[in-house]
Amino acid sequence: MVHSLALIVALSAAPLTAQPAPQVTAVAAARAGGVTSVTIGLMPGARVSEPRLLEQPWRIYFDITGVRPGGRRLLEVGGGPVSRVRLALNQPDPAVTRVVIDLSEKAPWRMERAGGDVRVVIGREAMRAADAPIDGAEAPGKVIYVPPGPVTPAVDRRAQIRAKLFAMAPAVDAIRTWNGPADGELAALIAESEELATGARAMAVSGSAADQALVAAIDAVAAAARARARAIADGTDQSRANAISAASGAILLLEHSRKVNGKS
């Protein structure tokens, strides 16, 4: 009897073997038009974290608590905005699976819960309303995350700087002929030209003739604007002559920059 009681106590004190967490049931991707839908099959009770978008390289990731990766941990997609999908065990106990969707480029996207599964819709149609069906795919479920606002298109910074610079030519010519600009316009010209100078140097300029001409013209415009401000302040003939000379040089450099940058 004593031995039986000891055995019962020993068995009750022995740690119970934890049951392994269920696995991801499926990993699939489907393309339709400009949209790729990535579906992760889940068991009931799995908790999905808020997704994150990372850059260099572009990728979306999120964690799923309560499941382990299944047998398929890498899905090569290719074509469209998605290159591949990766799954890995990020934490063993409690089980947390990390899902990473590698993108070929930045693209609009959203995450949905479709039944017990998670679907990430990526591509030009991803910002559609939640009740609008995706071509070639099931009608989406409840949207649980939508990135804030549309994707900002790539900006050609050099094109922006060139456009702003060449728009300053009339004000510089007014300095050359000494009939303007007015005080307010002159102050704006000084501020804008100095801002352009900072922006041009912040770019990783190539050292090409076009880049060098652009920077030289910006510096000349800023110098001419500051020279007019000094001439107005002290009122001497020499200061006025200096400002006119600086503006004449700036006009020549603007024309040269237009030429080498392919602007007529």
Residue 44 has pLDDT above 60, yes or no: yes
Share of the chain above pLDDT 90, in %: 23
Q: Which residue has the tokens 């991801």?
A: 24
What's the confidence (pLDDT) of residue 153?
54
Joined tokens for residue 39: 């579906």
What's the confidence (pLDDT) of residue 146?
45
Assess contact for 193 and 201: CB atoms under 8 A: no
What's the confidence (pLDDT) of residue 236?
92
User: Range with the lowest mean pLDDT among 13-22, 193-202, 225-234?
Assistant: 13-22
Residue 52 has pLDDT above 50, yes or no: yes
Report d(CA 193, CA 199) in Å as an integer: 10
What's the confidence (pLDDT) of residue 202?
63
The tens digit of pLDDT for each residue in 86-126 reads 999 888 888 899 999 999 888 888 888 766 788 888 887 65
Of 39 and 8, the one with more pLDDT: 39
Residue 82 has pLDDT above 50, yes or no: yes
Of 128 and 258, the one with more pLDDT: 258
Average pLDDT, the chain: 78
Q: What is the mean pLDDT of residues 80-87?
A: 90
Report d(CA 101, CA 237) in Å as an integer: 68
C-beta neighbour count of 173 within 10 angstroms: 17
Residue 247 has pLDDT above 90, yes or no: yes
Q: What is the mean pLDDT of residues 195-224?
A: 78
What's the confidence (pLDDT) of residue 86?
93
The tens digit of pLDDT for each residue in 11-39 reads 444 444 456 778 888 898 888 877 888 99
Residue 157 has pLDDT above 70, yes or no: yes
**pTM metric for this prediction:** 0.46
Residue 175 has pLDDT above 90, yes or no: yes
User: Range with the lowest mean pLDDT among 75-89, 90-104, 152-166?
Assistant: 152-166
Joined tokens for residue 151: 């994707």
Q: What is the mean pLDDT of residues 188-195?
A: 87
Assess contact for 107 and 123: CB atoms under 8 A: yes
Nearest to 101 by CA among 138, 63, 158: 63
What's the confidence (pLDDT) of residue 18?
54
Report d(CA 87, CA 114) in Å as an integer: 19
* Alpha-carbon distances of 191 from 104, 196, 256, rounded to whole Å: 39, 9, 23
What's the confidence (pLDDT) of residue 35?
87
Backbone angles phi, psi at 111, to 5 degrees: -110, 145
What's the confidence (pLDDT) of residue 112?
83
